Amino acid sequence: MEIQYKCLNNKLDHLQQKQSKHPKFLQQKEEHRFYRTVKNLTNIRFNEEKMQILKCDLNYSIERPMSAYAASLIAETEQAIRLLDMKMQNTYRIMATNKLKQIINSNSQKNMLHKRQLHVVKEIKKKLATENAILMRDDKGKTIMIINSEEYSEKVHNFLKDNNFNTLTKDPRDRFQKLIHKKNTRM
């Protein structure tokens, strides 16, 4: 039982250390890159805070607040405590409660950062929607392109037309799936 408690305590300490680190985009100083991270092909202007979020890449994940982890952490802790002797359970519950409160209180400032990042992302989405623009990744690199939806559709349409692509009248996947199924049943 002592081993499980130590394991959970180490997990709590690890989460606390992980939460104390600031997100990547706030720590980085502007450094030289060989490619542009964001290329704006519209007349939409973004402030520095929004550009910092956009420069993080489309796969950037905003860190969840501690409250998102708290429920599973509490459940796992309770599960470990129930394996202990009945006389010791309440003592460990009090210790775990105090540790959880300490972690949650120390993360209140980081929760504000999380809320701010979510707010900025919502503002970006709203601005793109009102201006009828989209975000997309450049084919040849990691550059994020901001382009008008109509312009993008027109470019795709012209590319398909210029390169002699034909539209199909029927979806061929059904036929191929039936052929594969027949081959598999014969084996």
Per-residue pLDDT tens listing for the chain (187 residues): 678 778 888 888 877 777 655 555 555 555 555 566 888 889 999 999 888 888 887 777 776 666 677 788 888 989 999 998 998 999 999 999 888 888 777 766 566 777 888 888 899 999 999 999 999 888 777 788 899 999 999 999 999 889 988 888 888 898 889 889 888 887 6
Place of tokens 């009248």: 169
| Whole-Å CA distances, 77 to 7, 102, 103, 154, 178 | 10, 15, 14, 56, 51
CA torsion 87→93→94→96, rounded to 10°?
A: 140
**pTM score, two decimals?**
0.53
DSSP 166: -
Please say whether the beta carbons of 23 and 120 come within 8 A: no
Place of tokens 């006389």: 87
